[in-house]
Amino acid sequence: MAEEKENKKPLVKKKAPLTKKKKSWFQIVAPDVFGKAALGETLVEDSKHLLGKTIELSLMSLTGDMKKQNMNVKFAVDQIMEGRGICRVVSYEIAPSSIKRMVRRGRMRVDASIVVQTKDGIKVRVKPFLLTAYETKRSLVAAVRRQVIAFVATYFANSTYDQVFKDVVSGRLQMGVREACKGIYPIRNSEIRMMTVVKDTVAVSALPSTTMNVEKIMESAQNARQQRYSAPRRPYPQQAEAAPQQQEAPAEAQ
């Protein structure tokens, strides 16, 4: 009997076959700034796997504006609603080749890289880029850089992140930067070269100014733009030398 027990092999339990869950296509949607437009689709097993997925697109594909083809926006899914991944903007950047084409002789380049905090507590690294209208002293360039840093930090501290990005896309923030600096030296170009969300552990490097009136500067920039585009155009020389109007013929006597 003992030998029979020793000859018996232990029973091996059979493993259940692995079953893979079928993947499905889920839609990724832009934030309210872009009217929740569809950005694309991704293939995942469950909608919860959408969280954290990123997608990068040209701003031209979202706005239809050809002038924005060199501007790239990166989105990340941060919430799921009705089986769709709702994104938020995590970065904005102008292509380096586009920046190089702006730089010309006889102009001074002004760059800055700062970490600021928005009104709703989001920390953002911002890299403004400016070109002066003419070549000037380095002391004036340094003064323009200080003014840019003060204006950007103050503007971010008084605006939500969604409002900031909306103003960057529309060019309103860039006009405000130019308006804030033109009193120091004429500015040819004003751009936000890069803007990206950073971790909460990153320290803020630029504090808002207590004396700068950002709303007044932004309003002044908007008024200047309206006056620029509403002013009548100068006539061409051919139009200026228009032929004299013909005199009306006298009425016939009855």
| Highest averaged pLDDT of the listed ranges 54-63, 128-137, 230-239 | 128-137
Structural domains of the chain, ranges and CATH numbers in brackets: 24-94 (no CATH), 96-226 (3.30.479.30)
Sign, CA torsion 101/105/106/108: positive
Global model pTM greater than 0.85: no
Find the mean pLDDT for residues 129-158: 96
What proportion of the chain, given as a percentage, has pLDDT over 90?
Answer: 59
C-alpha–C-alpha distance, residues 59 and 92, integer Å: 9
Q: What is the per-residue pLDDT across 75-112, written as a single tens digit (0 to 9) for each?
A: 999 888 888 899 999 999 999 999 999 998 899 999 99
Q: What is the per-residue pLDDT across 174-224, written as a single tens digit (0 to 9) for each?
A: 999 999 999 999 999 999 999 999 999 999 999 999 999 999 999 998 887
Assess contact for 46 and 23: CB atoms under 8 A: no
Flag whether pLDDT at 231 surpasses 80.
Answer: no
Predicted pLDDT of residue 44: 84
Predicted pLDDT of residue 232: 58
C-alpha–C-alpha distance, residues 153 and 8, integer Å: 80
Maximum CA pair distance of the chain? Answer: 148
| Highest averaged pLDDT of the listed ranges 2-6, 65-69, 171-175 | 171-175
Predicted pLDDT of residue 253: 46
Flag whether pLDDT at 243 surpasses 50.
Answer: no
Predicted pLDDT of residue 14: 64
106 sits in the region (left: phi over 0; alpha: psi -120 to 50; else beta) called left
Distances (CA, A) of 13 to 10, 16, 122: 10, 9, 54
